[in-house]
């Protein structure tokens, strides 16, 4: 039923926990493919300690998470490919929920459960009253960009083969891929929490986001958000209501980026993103663009005051 793909690069501190959560699934019809992306720590040794006929390891020189996922997808043999990052975790019924979703919606191209996040999955109470439904991915992602999260998803293998793999970007390659899938086939969402994202300061995404925030802005909106660039490339082929939803998604992404730049007092960077934002609307992104038109000294004073007020509340 499922080929589970785990890209592994220097996650020796976490990979054992991740593999155990996969092997402990209540639904056991799966193969587990771990792609060692040139790890230099003890992660591969941790994996080698598991004796399970369903598990196989594929090795490649370091090429990035997207390339590792792509290789795992190429080696997959089951109808559905489920993704799990090397420092994330599945609750025992994750694959069972995905199997139910696939059975109820054979037309689906992408399945996604819900997830919790924090530092301890034992402190999270999985939600069992699942609502399984088709979603308008573009419209929902415009409201919440992270409506689908990689370690909670599965994609139909034949569709994945048709679309090709993940792109090679520093960030956002997964969002761009889900967007491409959603343009081709129905997306099914479950409200049931079956996956867990470990939020810690040493996680890969935390390190990337820290570097992005503290470094000067050197990339444009389309480079930071490959999914925004993809939508721009197909806008001419979309009917008006889809074009409107695409623009709302793009503006949501721009708003998130501007907020991130302002958090490190990069007013020029925030303004640059605002100038690249498509469309003219009086939404939260439009309001923020109006605020950014204020003189720099006024904005810096307002930002410092906001930081002081937030600190006093904490």
Read off the pLDDT band of 310 (50, 70, 90).
Answer: low
The helix, strand and coil proportions of the chain, stated in percent and rounded to the nearest 5, come to: 50, 20, 35
Residue 293 inside a domain? The answer is yes
Task: Clarify whether residues 100 and 163 are in a common domain.
Answer: yes
Global pTM reads 0.88
Read off the pLDDT band of 155 (50, 70, 90).
Answer: very high
Tell me what pLDDT residue 212 has. Answer: 53
For residue 14, which of 3, 22, 24, 2 has the smallest C-alpha distance? 22
Tell me what pLDDT residue 300 has. Answer: 77
Read off the pLDDT band of 293 (50, 70, 90).
Answer: confident
Tell me what pLDDT residue 12 has. Answer: 95
Coil, strand or helix at 280? coil
Task: Clarify whether residues 92 and 226 are in a common domain.
Answer: no
Task: Clarify whether residues 123 and 235 are in a common domain.
Answer: no
Helix axes 296-313, 267-276, angle to 10 degrees: 110
| pLDDT tens column, 160-196 | 999 999 998 878 999 999 999 999 999 999 999 999 9
Task: Clarify whether residues 113 and 232 are in a common domain.
Answer: no
> What is the distance between the alpha carbons of residues 70 and 50, in angstroms, rounded to a whole number?
23
Residue 210 inside a domain? The answer is no
For residue 163, which of 177, 152, 148, 147 has the smallest C-alpha distance? 177
| CATH code, domain carrying 130 | 3.90.550.10
Task: Clarify whether residues 36 and 119 are in a common domain.
Answer: yes
Q: Does the pLDDT of residue 68 top 60, yes or no?
A: yes
Average per-residue pLDDT for the chain: 89
Task: Clarify whether residues 225 and 273 are in a common domain.
Answer: yes
Span 198-203, mean pLDDT?
Answer: 64
Residue 164 inside a domain? The answer is yes
Task: Clarify whether residues 169 and 28 are in a common domain.
Answer: yes
Residue 41 inside a domain? The answer is yes
Instruction: Give residue 288's domain range.
Output: 215-313
Tell me what pLDDT residue 10 has. Answer: 96
Tell me what pLDDT residue 154 has. Answer: 99
Read off the pLDDT band of 313 (50, 70, 90).
Answer: low
Read off the pLDDT band of 263 (50, 70, 90).
Answer: confident
Tell me what pLDDT residue 247 has. Answer: 94
Residue 241 inside a domain? The answer is yes
Percentage of residues of the chain with pLDDT beyond 90:
67
Residue 308 inside a domain? The answer is yes
Coil, strand or helix at 174? helix
Task: Clarify whether residues 55 and 179 are in a common domain.
Answer: yes
Task: Clarify whether residues 23 and 158 are in a common domain.
Answer: yes
Span 202-222, mean pLDDT?
Answer: 62
Task: Clarify whether residues 247 and 151 are in a common domain.
Answer: no
Tell me what pLDDT residue 118 has. Answer: 84
* Neighbour-count burial for 81-117, b at 16+ CB within 10 Å, e otherwise: bbbbbbbbbbbebbbbbbbbbbeebeebbbbbbbbbe
Judge whether 258 and 270 are in contact, CB under 8 Å: yes
Q: Which of 198, 225, 251 is the last residue of a domain?
A: 198
Task: Clarify whether residues 135 and 176 are in a common domain.
Answer: yes
Residue 53 inside a domain? The answer is yes
Task: Clarify whether residues 24 and 127 are in a common domain.
Answer: yes
| pLDDT tens column, 104-141 | 999 999 999 999 988 777 777 666 666 999 999 999 99
Q: Does the pLDDT of residue 206 top 70, yes or no?
A: no
Residue 207 inside a domain? The answer is no
Q: What's the structural domain count of the chain?
A: 2
The DSSP string of 209-261 is HHHHHHS---S-HHHH-HHHHHHHHHGGGS-HHHHHHHHHHHHHHHHHHHHHH
Instruction: Report the range of poorest mean pLDDT among 28-32, 80-84, 271-275, 284-288.
Output: 284-288
């Amino acid at each position: 039923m499922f080929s589970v793909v785990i890209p592994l690069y220097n996650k020796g501190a976490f990979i054992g926990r991740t593999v155990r959560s996969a092997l402990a699934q209540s639904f056991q019809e799966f193969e587990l493919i771990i792609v060692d992306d040139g790890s230099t720590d003890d992660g591969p040794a941790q994996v080698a300690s598991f004796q399970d006929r369903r598990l196989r390891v594929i090795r490649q020189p370091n090429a990035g998470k997207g390339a590792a996922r792509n290789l795992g997808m190429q080696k997959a043999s089951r109808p559905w490919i489920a993704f799990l990052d090397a420092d994330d975790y599945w609750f025992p019924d994750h694959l069972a929920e995905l199997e139910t979703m696939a059975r109820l919606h054979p037309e689906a191209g992408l399945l996604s459960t819900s997830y919790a996040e924090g530092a301890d999955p034992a402190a999270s109470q999985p939600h069992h009253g699942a609502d399984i439904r088709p979603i308008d991915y573009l419209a929902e992602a415009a409201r919440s960009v992270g409506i689908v999260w990689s370690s909670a998803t599965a994609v139909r293998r034949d569709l994945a083969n048709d679309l090709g793999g993940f792109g090679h970007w520093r960030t956002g390659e997964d969002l761009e891929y889900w967007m491409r899938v959603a343009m081709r086939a129905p997306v099914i969402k479950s409200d049931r929490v079956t996956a867990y994202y470990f939020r810690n300061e040493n996680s890969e995404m935390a390190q990337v986001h820290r570097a992005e925030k503290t470094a000067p802005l050197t990339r444009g909106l389309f480079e930071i958000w490959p999914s925004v660039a993809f939508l721009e490339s197909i806008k001419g082929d979309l009917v008006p209501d889809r074009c409107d939803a695409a623009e709302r998604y793009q503006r949501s992404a721009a708003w998130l980026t501007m907020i991130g730049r302002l958090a490190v007092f990069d007013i020029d960077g925030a303004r640059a993103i605002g100038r690249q934002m498509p469309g003219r609307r009086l939404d939260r992104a439009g309001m923020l663009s109006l605020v950014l038109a204020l003189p720099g000294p006024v904005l810096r004073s307002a930002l410092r005051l906001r930081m002081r007020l937030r600190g006093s509340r904490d």
